[in-house]
Structure 1
């Protein structure tokens, strides 16, 4: 690869890493082209970019970002998945793919400057999506108000039932 292309690639990755929420590093050794394309398609559906990159270029691109701590894990064939939005979606895809594939191995991940172990990535993958968590939170916020409205509505309802029972008793 020409030096100009390498410089351009380093600048491109540095810009992506500067704005990324999470990055996942994997060893793809043993996967064929169809399997890599299948994984890339799943990750693209989750809004994640998956690229194979030279370790030295990735080290240079990560300098000065939260992902500089990846340097120790950049050995052997390396692929990186960069999540700009939700870090849970790529964790789910990669953990599932690593479980199903005997060749694909998730090395590590970085979430907001913190290295995650393989177990932590699996725990992250088991979290519900952001939308589900927001829905649960809104339901929790809304629950006391709706319970209070139910209690307030019970008083007039009980009064109407008592009056109806008195009317039925006098009619009989």
Structure 2
């Protein structure tokens, strides 16, 4: 039986992880077994740059933290070395970075993801990773709003241009007559 101090430490880790899971818009679990130190460092730097928290926590503690947040169906994926990547600001960032590095490093294996409390499989993670960034999506939406306005302005300009041509032709006809 573990000592009181070890139990207290584990409860604190679960409480902290549970809070981060609650704030996270998306979570991706991955098996990092076989990565070299250089590869792991490169991966961690890319995740940090994208605003993603990446850490290794015991599987049992991760199970407790996920269950505290009502996330079920992940237990069968929590075996072997498991790293957890979470982001509270961008739901696509963990999937995008980990999927990119899973292609680059064959040893990195995606296990399962959670987006807004719903569990997604490896294919779901890859689909999420293929989504454009938030900025690109916003630009597309704004472009969609702008297109009808631009078309309306062109129609108005076309009518005014046509009226000016007709008036100019009438004026020239009267001058020549």
TM-score by length of 2: 0.88
**Contact 1:50–1:80 (8 Å) recurs in 2:** yes
Does the CA-based 8 Å contact 2:27-2:94 persist in structure 1? no
- 2:152 is the alignment partner of 1:148: yes
Shift of 1:154: 1.4
Distance 1:67 1:41, change over 3 A: farther
Unpaired runs of 5+ residues, structure 1, are: none
Moved more, 146-155 or 99-108: 146-155
Which residue does 1:6 correspond to in 2? 10
2:124 aligns to what?
Answer: 120
Query: Per-residue displacement from partner, 1:75-123 (whole Å, max 9, x unpaired)?
Result: 0000000121212122111111001112100011111222212112111
Partners of 1:127 and 1:74 lie apart in 2 by 26
| Residue of 49, 60, 78 corresponding to 2:82 | 78
Q: Report 1:26-45 matches (<5 A).
A: 26-45=30-49
Root-mean-square deviation over aligned CA pairs: 1.9
Check whether the contact 1:69–1:113 (CA below 8 A) recurs between aligned residues.
Answer: no
Q: Counterparts of 1:29 and 1:50 in 2: how far apart (Å)?
A: 15
Distance 2:110 2:167 in 1: 69
Match of 1:97 in 2: 101
Do 1:23 and 1:111's aligned partners in 2 also have CA atoms closer than 8 Å? yes
CA–CA distance in structure 2, aligned partners of residues 112 and 69 of structure 1: 14
Give 1:137's aligned residue: 141
TM-score where L is the length of structure 1? 0.90
Aligned-partner Cα distance in 1 for 2:86–2:101: 16
1:15-34 alignment, distance < 5 Å: 15-34=19-38
